[in-house]
């Protein structure tokens, strides 16, 4: 059965019309200034040399021990005000992450850093997607890696094309 839209039915997607192309371009451009995705962070780190940013894990020590991005700085969000200046260089952009998309700890850490004069981006997907996409990570026991989840990364570590 094919449903048709009548004047009394409103398509829920278009209930609020899309933004103008200019407004959409401004929004998405701004979004890219505030966010980086897991694959891009991993590619920049894997390229070797100085990636031009530092990765910051804003989770608790227990979470850090469970697993973290190799080379990341550990600075729980609550400690940013007292420790950021000691651990980070203001001239180097910071990419924050927390558990995953259901957690806003990386957002809170990014806000705390920005309020203190740091340039910052948030890594979308957090540690969850770092692991789900099959990137290596470190635990208190040593290095680890899981098979990529086919719902989050192309098979065989290929490029998603985005």
Name, in order, each residue with C-beta under 8 angstroms of 97's C-beta and a sequence gap of 6 or more: 55, 56, 57, 58, 69, 72, 106, 122, 123, 126, 127, 130
**Per-residue pLDDT tens digits for 84-108:** 999 999 999 999 999 999 999 999 9
pLDDT band per the 50, 70, 90 thresholds, residue 160: low
Q: What pLDDT is attached to residue 152?
A: 85
Cα–Cα distance for residue pair 126/116, rounded to 1 Å: 22
Q: What pLDDT is attached to residue 6?
A: 54
pLDDT at 8 over 80: no
**Per-residue pLDDT tens digits for 60-74:** 999 999 999 999 999
Percent of the residues in the chain that have a pLDDT greater than 90, as a whole number: 83
Is the whole-model pTM more than 0.85? yes
Q: What is the mean pLDDT of residues 125-144?
A: 96
Of 110 and 3, the structure prediction assigns the larger pLDDT to 110
- The alpha carbon dihedral of 99, 101, 102, 107 has a sign of positive
Q: What is the mean pLDDT of residues 23-36?
A: 97
- Contact present, 55 and 97 (Cβ < 8 Å): yes
Q: What pLDDT is attached to residue 71?
A: 96
Measured CA distances, 157 to 13, 27, 42, 48, 134 (Å): 33, 30, 12, 18, 8
- The alpha carbon dihedral of 121, 124, 129, 134 has a sign of negative
Q: What domains are defined for the chain?
A: 37-155 (3.40.250.10)
Lowest mean pLDDT among 17-31, 72-86, 95-109, 147-161: 147-161
């Amino acid at each position: 059965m094919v449903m048709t839209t009548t004047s009394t039915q409103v398509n829920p997607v278009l209930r609020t019309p899309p933004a103008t192309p200019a407004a959409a371009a401004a929004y998405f451009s701004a979004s890219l200034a505030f966010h980086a995705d897991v694959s891009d962070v991993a590619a920049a780190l894997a390229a070797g040399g100085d990636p031009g940013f530092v990765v910051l894990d804003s989770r608790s020590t227990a979470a850090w021990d469970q697993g973290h991005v190799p080379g990341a700085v550990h600075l729980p969000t609550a400690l940013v005000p007292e420790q950021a200046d000691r651990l980070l260089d203001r001239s180097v952009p910071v990419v924050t992450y927390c558990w995953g998309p259901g957690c806003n700890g990386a957002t809170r850490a990014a806000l705390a850093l920005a309020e203190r004069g740091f340039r910052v981006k948030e890594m979308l997907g957090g540690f969850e997607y770092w692991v789900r996409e099959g990137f290596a990570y470190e635990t208190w026991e040593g290095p680890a890696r899981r098979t990529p989840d086919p719902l989050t990364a192309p098979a065989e570590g290929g490029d998603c094309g985005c």
